[in-house]
Amino acid sequence: MKKLLIVVVLLIVAAVVYKEMGSSDAPIMRRLSGEIVNPYPPGSALHAQQQEFVDRFNADPALRERFAGTFTSKGLYAEMNRALKRGARSLGSAQLISVTRAMAAVIPRLPQKSCAKLIRPRDDFDRELGADFRAALERLPPVHHRNFWNFYLDALKSEIEQRPELPVNKTAQQMALNELGARYPGQFGDRLLGVINNPTGSADEDACWAINSMVHTSTQLSPDHAEVLARLIWGGVD
């Protein structure tokens, strides 16, 4: 279980950011000022929520400085992974669970090919996945898009401001993973383990089922365990 949880959400959120911050098709960062601009035209499905993020980002000199000079997709991908892990270890449980629920709402709306990519390791963005993720968000209530971007922004601030990290409770982690594992008896557990052990070689159908089921199920556990799993998903394990 742990191997899967380490990689899941970082890949998903990076895919969302790609079309908006990392794509050569629609760059939104000004090289000289470090400010970003909203890539969505007024009146489009995601413009208002995106503008909230843009305004908050541009109003913070420390955030602009953090990304100054980071323009390659690999560089930005690595920066986001680091910030998201830091946020997962610093932010409150309500925010972590809300962004995980947003993710759980998006995944079933992805084409199977893109859905399967979420569980497969990589170190850079994917244009096709980014476009499919944005299209899925556009079909959902705006609150999901806002939850993604608020989490990302607050995660960045956690890193910049060096907010204290919450202590890791290994016993609580194991109990949460045990509750999650109990939801996959028999053939379901075998299918899930097959994907975890070989995500690259698994069929798209199996890989997509695994990521969709795991993320959704993690939000349905007891509240304490849902929080623990959200921190594992976003922050990984040491």
Q: What is the pLDDT of residues 135-172, one digit of tens each?
A: 888 888 888 888 888 888 898 888 888 899 988 888 99
pLDDT at res. 73: 65
Q: What is the pLDDT of residues 104-136, one digit of tens each?
A: 999 999 999 999 988 887 777 778 888 888 888
pLDDT at 18 over 50: no
> What is the Cα–Cα distance from 114 to 221, expressed in whole angstroms?
26
Q: What predicted TM-score, i.e. pTM, was given to this entire model?
A: 0.82
Q: What is the pLDDT of residues 31-80, one digit of tens each?
A: 445 677 787 888 888 888 888 888 998 899 888 887 766 556 666 667 77
pLDDT at res. 224: 92
Q: In terms of pLDDT, which residue wins out, 184 or 2?
A: 184
Other Cβ atoms closer than 10 A to 161: 10
Q: For the chain, how many structural domains are there in total?
A: 1
- Pick the closest to residue 96 from 221, 198, 232, 3 (CA basis): 232
Domain residue limits at 122: 2-235
